[in-house]
Amino acid sequence: QSVLTQPPSVSAAPGQKVTISCSGNNSNIGNNFVSWYQHLPGTGPKLLIYDNDKPHSGIFDRFSGSKSGTSATLDISRLQTGDEADYYCGTWDTSLSAAVFGGGTKLTVL
Amino acid sequence: QVHLVESGGGVVQPGRSLRLSCQVSGFNLTKYAMSWVRHAPGKGLDWVAVLSYDGTKMFYANSVRGRFTSSRDNFKNTLYLQMNSLTTDDTAVYYCARTFTSNWTDALEIWGQGTLVTVSS
CA-based nearest residue in chain A for residue B111: A44
Q: CB B63: neighbour CB atoms within 10 A?
A: 14
Contacts of A76 (CB under 8 A, 6+ apart): A17, A18, A20, A62, A63, A83, A107
- Of residues B26 and A42, more confidence is placed in B26
What's the alpha-carbon Rg for chain A, to the nearest Å? Answer: 13
With an 8 Å Cβ cutoff, is B50 touching chain A?
yes
Q: Is residue A7 classed as helix, strand or coil in its secondary structure?
A: coil
For residue B115, the model assigns a pLDDT of 97
Identify the residue among B22, B24, B45, B70 best suited for mutation to test binding to A, counting A beta carbons within 10 A and taking the highest.
B45
With an 8 Å Cβ cutoff, is A68 touching chain B?
no
CA distance B81 to chain A (A): 17
pLDDT tens track for A25-71 = 999 999 999 999 999 988 999 999 999 999 998 888 899 999 999 99
For residue A41, the model assigns a pLDDT of 81
Contacts of B37 (CB under 8 A, 6+ apart): A45, A101, B45, B46, B47, B48, B94, B95, B97, B108, B111
For residue A58, the model assigns a pLDDT of 86
Mean pLDDT of B103-107: 92
* Residue A19 in this model has a pLDDT that exceeds 90: yes
Contacts of A65 (CB under 8 A, 6+ apart): A34, A36, A48, A49, A52, A53, A54, A55, A72, A73, A74, A75
Percentage of chain B exceeding pLDDT 90: 93
Contact B105 A92 (CB under 8 A): yes
